Amino acid sequence: MNRKTFISKIAKLGMGTGALFFLGKSDRIAAETSAPEQEDAHRKFRTNWIKNLLRVMDETMKPEQQVDFMEQCGRACAATASLKEAEKFKGDLAGWLSTLKKWVGEQNVQQDGRKIVVKYSKCFCPMVADIEEQLPPTYCHCSKGWLKAVFETVVSHETAVTLHESIKSGGGKCRFTVEI
């Protein structure tokens, strides 16, 4: 499938699942429900939207294309704020690792030569962290792309990141290996 066809299918999916909200349902929900009920409705909407996105990806893309797509989403996410922080440590890997340890826990970032193991004891993705349901492993390649983007910014060259397990796909933690 070419990019134009894929984007068209994703746009149709988004229009189909989101149309009710854009046609006034969100106003009715706000008027008829309490804040916790609204949050629950938005969480359900977001969960269904993400599941539909992953289903369409499964139906229209090869597995390697799905991984690449999610990695690109992670890179785009990093570009919204995290890369500015990573840029402060350009050429200073030790400084970056120190900052990363503050975010995810001292014991969750371990360096062994050119390999860095990064673990998360909780999901940090603002899109799905509060979703209790398990997601297909493809989704968490977004975090892989985020790690690539920030580490490549710090070390100024390409890196390789391996996703070993993720909380959202049923793992006990999120665990990645970054090869610089």
pTM here is 0.79
Residue (of 115, 126, 111) closest to 161 by Cα position: 115
pLDDT at position 111 over 70: yes
Residue 1: its pLDDT value, please?
A: 56
- Higher pLDDT pick, 85 / 39: 85
Does position 61 have pLDDT exceeding 50, yes or no?
yes
| Span 41-58, average pLDDT | 92
Q: What angle do CA 40, 58, 120 make, to 5 degrees?
A: 55
Cβ–Cβ under 8 Å, residues 136 and 57? no
Residue of 118, 96, 99, 93 lying closest to 108 (CA atoms)? 118
Task: Give the model's pLDDT for residue 14.
Answer: 47
pLDDT of residue 162: 98
Residue 178: which of 86, 134, 116 has the closest Cα? 116
Residue 158 to residue 180: CA distance in whole angstroms:
7
pLDDT band for position 27 (cuts 50, 70, 90)? low
Q: Is the pLDDT of residue 15 over 50?
A: no
Strand partners, 116: 111, 178
Residue range 25-30: average pLDDT? 54
